[in-house]
Structure 1
Amino acid sequence: MVKEIILANAPTGLPVIEYGKNNSTFALREVELPSLKEDQVLLQTIFLSNDPAQRGWIQKDQISERGYVPPILPGDRVRAGNIAKVLKSTSSLIKEGTLVQSISGWVEQQVVDAKQVTPLPDMPGFSPSIFFGALGGTGMTAYFGLKDVCKFKEGQSIIVSGAAGATGSAVVQLAKHVFKASRVIGIAGSEEKCEWVKKIGADVALNYKSPTFVNDLIEAAKPSYVDCYFDNVGGSILNACLRVVKRYGRIAACGAISSYNGDRSQSTLDNWFEIITNRLTVQGFIIFDFLDRRDEAIQVLSSAVKEGKFSASDGETLVRSSFEKVPEVWMRLFRGENTGKLVTQIADL
């Protein structure tokens, strides 16, 4: 028998992490592993990806056709990206001991068809978890957000919110060191994080919790304002940034973590008229839009990592945890207790 974590009660507000309560968001369940059939593999989960998007997938009363993936329903295993080791294999293509990537979710071990996993290429000197971050969905989101959504050009300027988070920190580094931005303004939630954001490439880093944040933002964007705003948080920070994107500028709408655990109707935008008067383009996007161009992104990102332009180690917070505490680690995302990509490790390589 192995353990998995399922959705017990779909939340509307902050998830209740403690197991066994009437309103607990998650529950532990034991499952029996089936015997391997032809072309199957037995996986031992090593690393789990923690993503703000998972909060949206478990939201109560979703309209399924409005989502980009099916919602997680009560009784379903919580969906997540995994990096796992193949313990047993009946596939001629995947050997035992191979490290693979899958979307197996919050489970200790699982039997899946071999075609459902992707063997990881060798990246000597780096943790396999790099394929969640710099060379995974995080890096690709930053790359395509800059290239295709922001249509970013050398010498342009950009503001990045959530700049100490997984995607935000990747955007800061790529914008400055690969796309050659003239000016990168990062927004984070503490003075310590702001210093780290400057360390990885931002010219200016602003603490949104400062009472002078809005004025500081306006001053940092002067005299000509910025070409692009890469939005990872929504809410009041998006509202403030609408005032400092230059005419015909672009806004890449990547995330809205400020409202994921609260009442989304409170995310008012009283600066929305800026979009009209300054003819701004706001475009939402998700990484699934660009999966057919994965090889293009990985080539650019891996070169940037090898050349020291994109730090894999600085852009990750790795937390070793027991399996039962996986939800507790995930919740660190919403308390800002990570810099870069938040990864949970539940077993040895």
Structure 2
Amino acid sequence: MSVPTEQKVWILANPPAAELLPDTFSLETRPLPDLQEGDVLIQVEYLSNDPAQRGWMQKDVDPKRLYVPPVYKGDAIRATGIARVLKSKSAKYPEGSRVTGSFAWYDYAVVNESKITGAAIELPNKPYASLSVFGMTSVTAYQGIFDVLDVKPEHTVIVSGAAGAVGSTAVQFAKNVIGAKRVVGIAGGAAKCAWVKQLGADECVDYKDPNFAANLKAALNGEFADRVFENVGGDVLNATLPLVKRFGKIAFCGMISAYNGENPNVSNLFEIITNRITLQGFIVIDFLGKWASAVQNVAGWIKEGKVAIDDVETVVSATIEDVPEKYKLLFTGSNRGKLVTALVAKTSSL
């Protein structure tokens, strides 16, 4: 193929205050700069879709309250991705290398080697493994289950968002690796709940069921939860708080119910006082020093059959023009496990 001289890149046109709208993003065509020493020309193959990206682009967000710089109006939409090196002036990453790193919603780019995390990890029939089982998804679940919650075999654990990328992995770590006494997942719909149980959960409760709160209580078999891995917030958290054991602990990993500007009220905060519950938020970037060892451990558990690698992602193909629409699937419950976008070339119509 000829070497590209321009890129198509999605920028933030109108920072959203609530849900993402058609005019939130704008697709631009820009010339690619010449390579300088240490630069590589990449073609993006896969993009990670993460709820956290939504927080980075929020309208009027105070940058002092974010853990990474926000995406400002006119900025490219940042995303972790996997790319192939087409041209290189880097001693680390020669032409033909497949790499992962902090990229953006674009098809081609010239990036410095400092933006590259390392070589992409591949598994048979899973060229995007660096974005799922060996990526931020697994490391986040690892940090929450082992470091923040310190789950033990005698614990009863609730995992909300259990059919999502992080939640589904947290279920497996808690039950299949640690052997927690009881692991109860929360997911949306019977099909997703059945899948969560296939991953190892003792029970999974459908939050869409009108009797959700009562069903969640029943799933605990008359006990209270020692540990909660929280990904959702809102009504799910309201139903969970009265079921946490005295001196129990909740790890707040995400709050997808509020990412589109919604602010569901939490009505059971007094439970935290009366039952002396510990709440701790955490961000995976606080765990960078243990990242390599976490990935190494996950690889071992995969070999032992304790962590699944088959059918644990939703991979959607898209041209660069369709990337925002695929990202929005995160907020409609359309994905099961990690949502990955595979970039494909646009075919010309005859």
Structure 1 length as normaliser, TM-score?
0.95
| Cα displacement (A) at 1:121 | 5.4
Shift in Å at residue 224 of structure 1? 2.2
Distance 2:286 2:203 in 1: 31
C-alpha offsets along residues 45-103 of structure 1, whole Å, 9 cap, x if unaligned? 00000000111111000011011011111100001101000011112221111111111
CA deviations 1:258-289 (Å, max 9, x no partner) are 1111332xx22221111111111000001011
Q: Which amino acid aligns with 1:137?
A: M
SS state of the match for residue 210, structure 1? coil
The aligned residue for residue 283 of structure 2 is 286
**Distance verdict in 2 for CA 1:238–1:169, change over 3 Å:** same
Aligned to 1:296: 293
Distance in 2 separating the partners of 1:312 and 1:337: 19
- SS of the aligned residue for 2:242 comes to coil
What is aligned with 1:331?
328
Matches within 5 A, 1:30-109: 30-109=29-108
Aligned positions of 1:135-174 closer than 5 A: 135-174=134-173
Change (3 A) 1:124 1:209: closer
In the alignment, the residues of structure 2 paired with residue 65 and residue 185 of structure 1 have an alpha-carbon distance, to the nearest angstrom, of 36
**Is 2:17–2:58's contact at 8 Å kept on the other side of the alignment?**
yes
Q: Of 1, 9, 16, which aligns to 1:11? A: 16
1:180 is displaced (CA, Å) by 1.1
User: Structure 1: 5+ residue runs without aligned partners?
Assistant: 19-23
Q: Structure 2: which 5+ residue stretches go unaligned?
A: 1-5, 346-350
Per the alignment, residue 196 of structure 2 pairs with: 197
8 Å contact kept, 1:249–1:280: yes
> Could you tell which deviates more after superposition, 147-156 or 335-344?
147-156
Contact 2:82 2:120 in 1 (8 A): no
How much does 1:122 deviate? Answer: 4.8
Partner residue of 2:348? none
For the pair 1:316 / 2:313, whether they are aligned, the reply is yes
SS at match of 2:128: helix
Counterpart residue type for residue 287 of structure 2: F
> Residue 38 of structure 1: SS of its match in structure 2?
coil
Q: Deviations over 1:206-247 (max 9, x none)?
A: 110101110011111232211111100011101110011111
* Count, aligned residues: 340
Residue of structure 2 equivalent to 1:21: none
Q: Which amino acid aligns with 2:334?
A: E
Contact 1:83/1:101 (CA < 8 Å) preserved in 2?
Answer: yes
Task: Show the counterpart of 2:266.
Answer: 269
Aligned to 1:256: 255
- For the 8 Å contact 2:157–2:182, the answer to whether it is kept is yes
SS in structure 2 at match of 1:243? helix
Are residues 1:25 and 2:30 paired? no
Aligned CA RMSD, in angstroms, stands at 1.3
Q: 1:294 to 1:193 in 2, by over 3 A?
A: same
Structure 2: distance between partners of 1:166 and 1:248 = 28
1:241 maps to 240
- Which stretches of structure 1, 4 residues or longer, exceed 6 Å deviation after superposition? none
- C-alpha deviation, 1:126, in angstroms: 4.8
2:17 & 2:305 partners in 1: Cα distance?
42
Cα drift, residue 124 of structure 1:
4.0
Distance 1:339 1:122, change over 3 A: closer
What amino acid maps onto 1:327 in structure 2? P
| 1:232 paired residue number | 231
